[in-house]
Amino acid sequence: MQLAKRLDRLPPYLFVGISQKIAEKQARGEDIISFAIGDPDLPTPSHIIEYMCQAAHDPVNHRYPETIGLPELRQAIAEWYRKRFGVILDPDKEVLPLIGSKEGIGHIALCFIESGDIALVPDPGYPVFAMGTILAGGEPYFVPLKEENDFLPDFEAIPEEIAKKAKLMWLNYPNNPTGATADLGFFEKAVHFAQRYDLAICHDAPYTEVAFDGYKPPSFMQIPKAKEIGVEFHSLSKTYHMTGWRIGMAVGNAEMIHALFRVKSNLDSGIPQAIQQAAVEALRGSQNCIVEHNAILQRRRDKLIKVLDELGLKARVPKAAFYIWAKVPQGYSSIDFTQKLLDETGIAVTPGIGYGKEGEGYIRFSLTVSDDRLEQGINRLSNWKAV
């Protein structure tokens, strides 16, 4: 048996390694508080679960779904975009439900990337942008997100010959892992850059509804020309605490959406229909849960920022997304510091290097830890010396 060489280029998925380390410690009886993974701790709102339970009883939903998704779901996604962002989408041509946005993010590379082609990928960034590119036979070109640029890419610093060769550019705001946000002016610039070099843009936006202090993150699709050259990936995972149900969407340019549909229709058979119906309920039903979740996350953010500040671990206060991107003390690599934190306090975080070279020197805390575990974590940190 001979495995394909492309597998040699894939590092182990970041969180698998972290989960293993945590599991080993737990097996030894250690009490680990994990701030490592961005998976909401609070349950899916009950009206959504109730709807899904009812839908699960309907035999129509026991059969194969269609990759294109239920018309009602595509309609609900288009309505949600109109209400939330004022963006008009054709539910038949400009909306495609996904089995979680990660699935679509990985697969869209197959629509654009041929052997040796370049995709512009943010560094630090969500690992799937680069991995999808590699699996499609392409080369990620890592565009640094520097703190001094508010973790936005500097388009002018991308070498001309790279931009000319690139086929696709990934963006992600509100950003994982840095918590940075982008305004419409930035998205305008991105569209100009993409038009100059004939690039497609994929904007990954699962965190637009996780925001604090009254801030409302915009959609890339609000830029009138965005639909000519790009798509946006969105997800119900973080908005409605539905990570386990696996449902997201791609919206935007009809040709790109159709290309992704063609790839997917040859690989998957869509999203279980009861889950699609629950998603309709989530998108059309009460949105109060978003306000409630954000109030909880904001309180957690403020508490954690305070103790990190006291420890000398500098972090910007994020306006959106549920991550705190903190600097490690001088002299430590992100991995060494993550290990020290885990060994000395039983607190797990993710090392910045896991998100790319530019993530070195940082660690990421996720705020998706229950309130009482957060309090315990904060107590441990208050009684600890970082250096």
Residues that bind ligand PLP (CB under 6 A): 38, 100-102, 126, 172, 176, 204, 206, 235, 237, 243, 248
Q: Indicate the residue among 176 and 273 with the shorter CB distance to ligand PLP.
A: 176
Question: What's the closest the beta carbon of residue 17 comes to ligand PLP, in angstroms?
Answer: 16
Q: Indicate the residue among 240 and 332 with the shorter CB distance to ligand PLP.
A: 240
Question: What's the closest the beta carbon of residue 33 comes to ligand PLP, in angstroms?
Answer: 19
Q: Indicate the residue among 155 and 173 with the shorter CB distance to ligand PLP.
A: 173
Question: What's the closest the beta carbon of residue 133 comes to ligand PLP, in angstroms?
Answer: 15
Q: Indicate the residue among 129 and 212 with the shorter CB distance to ligand PLP.
A: 129
The rounded distance, in Å, linking the Cα atoms of 81 and 52 is: 22
Q: What is the dihedral of CA 305, 287, 91, 50, to 10 degrees?
A: 110
Question: What's the closest the beta carbon of residue 202 comes to ligand PLP, in angstroms?
Answer: 11
Question: What's the closest the beta carbon of residue 220 comes to ligand PLP, in angstroms?
Answer: 13
Q: Indicate the residue among 94 and 232 with the shorter CB distance to ligand PLP.
A: 232
Q: Indicate the residue among 37 and 311 with the shorter CB distance to ligand PLP.
A: 37
Given a contact cutoff of 8 angstroms between Cβ atoms, the answer to whether 128 and 102 are in contact is: yes
The rounded distance, in Å, linking the Cα atoms of 188 and 378 is: 40
Question: What's the closest the beta carbon of residue 84 comes to ligand PLP, in angstroms?
Answer: 17
Residue 127: CB partners within 8 Å, gap ≥ 6? 13, 14, 354, 355
Residue 28: CB partners within 8 Å, gap ≥ 6? none
Q: Indicate the residue among 173 and 332 with the shorter CB distance to ligand PLP.
A: 173
Residue at 108: amino acid letter: I
Q: Indicate the residue among 167 and 203 with the shorter CB distance to ligand PLP.
A: 203
Q: At CB < 8 A and 24+ separation, what contacts does 283-287 make? A: 283/76, 283/77, 283/79, 283/80, 283/236, 284/76, 284/79, 284/80, 285/47, 285/48, 285/51, 286/45, 286/47
Question: What's the closest the beta carbon of residue 93 comes to ligand PLP, in angstroms?
Answer: 22
Question: What's the closest the beta carbon of residue 128 comes to ligand PLP, in angstroms?
Answer: 7
